[in-house]
Amino acid sequence: MPNKIPGEMTSDTSQPQRYPFIDAARGFAILLMFVYHFCFDLAWLGLADFDFYRGTGWLHFRSLIVTLFLGIMGVSLYLSTRHGIDWRRFGLRLAMIAGYAALVSLGSYLLFPDSMIVFGILHFAAVASVLGLLFIRFHVANLVIGIALILLGNYLPLPLFDQPALHWIGMMTHKPVTEDYVPLLPWFGVVLIGHFLGHVIFSRRRPALVIQWRETGWLRRTLCFGGRHSLNLYMVHQPIFLGLLYAGLWLSDRVAG
């Protein structure tokens, strides 16, 4: 009997095994996000002079992080639906993402009432999870559709979409005043390209290097852990960062006093 490819469906369970490489890639994106948000917190508290709103380097860094997350989301969409959809698992995951998105909006309103997060990355993930189900059989066509959506979102701004009710779609002539903004266009195009890449890599009869990649060594294990718990880490990392920074400021004031 041939060896089972890691991540393939087993005969006695409806759940696929995880691919360590995908977990590690998501964990790497989480690590980059930690760096970005910690530096943002330093600037927000006046401890560093970083321009996150106009600095080209920071804007590109953010785009890289979002691209990694959403590209991996597209790959995961392919892996989780290629043998059928587990509707119970899908519903629970969607409810979790939507609930966390609501908490992010509430927390951002308390901290940034004039620029609260209305449609950030978690809001996008909830909508894209549902919308993505319409594209799970397109495979190769998703590459063309994804590129088209990216081009539309980046190069076809229309005044119609400046209306607040349509901000979530994208194609605005200006960025809305918000601390996090991930509109459907162009970013859903990245998800579809990720789905295409998942189909190319994981539908081969012969295992690719990505499929054979193993979780060995402390660095790989740490990245895989981060990837497996990325949603929860996303929710708790900012309170931890801010708590540590406020504690550090308090201690420095006590020492100076």
The DSSP code sequence of 11-38 is: TT-SSPPP-HHHHHHHHHHHHHHHHHHH
Q: Please determine, for residue 105, whether its predicted confidence score (pLDDT) is greater than 60.
A: yes
Structure tokens, 191:
């998800």
Give the model confidence (pLDDT) of 183-211 as tens digits: 999 999 999 999 999 999 888 666 667 77
Structure tokens, 243:
């708590």
Q: Is residue 243 part of a domain?
A: no
CA–CA separation, 195 vs 60, rounded Å?
23
Q: Is residue 36 part of a domain?
A: no
Q: Is residue 142 part of a domain?
A: yes
Q: Is residue 129 part of a domain?
A: yes
The SS3 call for residue 52 is: coil
Q: Is residue 110 part of a domain?
A: yes
Structure tokens, 70:
């959403």
Structural domain containing residue 95: 85-213
The answer to whether 119 and 167 are in contact (CB under 8 A) is: yes
Half-sphere exposure of 91 (CA within 13 A, CB side): 3
Q: Please determine, for residue 12, whether its predicted confidence score (pLDDT) is greater than 90.
A: no
**DSSP code per residue over 158-179:** -GGGGSGGGTTTB--SS--S-S
Q: What is the pLDDT of residue 17?
A: 59
Q: Is residue 46 part of a domain?
A: no
Nearest to 241 by CA among 50, 76, 36, 16: 36
Q: Which residue has the higher pLDDT, 110 or 9?
A: 110
Nearest to 147 by CA among 213, 82, 192, 94: 192
Q: Is residue 147 part of a domain?
A: yes
Burial of 215 (0-12, 13-18, 19+ CB in 10 A): middle
The answer to whether 191 and 207 are in contact (CB under 8 A) is: no
Give the model confidence (pLDDT) of 52-80 as tens digits: 988 999 999 999 999 999 999 999 999 99
Q: Is residue 112 part of a domain?
A: yes
Q: What is the pLDDT of residue 255?
A: 83
Number of domains in the chain: 1
Alpha-carbon dihedral 244, 250, 256, 257, rounded to 10 degrees: -160
- Classify residue 135 by its DSSP letter: G
Give the model confidence (pLDDT) of 135-178 as tens digits: 999 989 999 999 999 999 999 999 999 999 999 999 999 999 99
